Amino acid sequence: MKKQGELILPGDELSVIEEFVPGEGTYEFQGIVYSSVVGKAFYDMINRRSNSISFKKPGLLSLKKAKYVLGIVSSIKEDSALISVYSIEDKSLSSPITAYLHISQITNKYLNSITEAIKVSDIIRAKPINFTLPLQLTIKQKDLGVVYAKCSICGTKMVKKDEEHLRCPNCGNVESRKLALIQVKKGGN
């Protein structure tokens, strides 16, 4: 098994299927996960995936100048969330970038649980705080946070109730989130 961050070539063995399933830039053959691209080995311990992160990852260079990224919350652990980044500012990526959001990068207020601020399937507007993989994000700023959420009871799109709560127009359920407070520019001459 290759070490985390080690240079790998196509055909290099990364793991056995019992330890890690194939992820980005990998494939499985006869129970062994191999790299399909030149890159660095990355083992996603949360989802148990072996990845080969290509050096020619689309969009990584433009992240240094990015004011924000858009992503979907894929999974949540006790103190962190895995985010699939699909867009850098207004430019869509051909394949998502895996990112990580720690509970300390959500708000300056104390949170009992990360689910007080975000939930799985929420779309968030976040800012990268590092430029290596896995990408680390923050949503502490006022203009960062959840921009789209569905009701955890009935699945209906939630609407803003106040600065920290969303309400379901279908069933009336109220949920808390760390919302992105985006200023809408008013037109006119």
Q: pLDDT tens digits, residue range 81-112?
A: 999 988 888 777 777 888 999 999 999 999 99
The pTM for the full model equals 0.65
For domain 7-54, say whether CATH 1.20.140.10 is its number: no
**pLDDT given for residue 7 in this prediction:** 81
The confidence band for 183, taking pLDDT boundaries of 50, 70 and 90, is low
Same fold, 7-54 and 61-141: yes
Domain boundaries, the chain: 7-54, 61-141
Compute CA distances 108 → 76, 99, 105, 117, 178, whole Å.
19, 21, 8, 12, 11
User: Which of helix, strand or coil describes residue 115?
Assistant: helix
For residue range 127-178, list pLDDT tens digits in order.
Answer: 999 877 778 999 999 999 999 999 999 999 999 999 889 999 999 999 999 9
In this predicted model, which residue has the larger pLDDT, 11 or 114? 114
Domain range 61-141, its CATH number among 3.30.70.20, 2.40.50.140, 3.60.21.10, 3.40.309.10 = 2.40.50.140
pLDDT tops 70 at residue 41 = yes
Instruction: Tell me the C-alpha distance between 111 and 165, whole Å.
Output: 15
The encoded tokens of residue 125 equal 């507007």
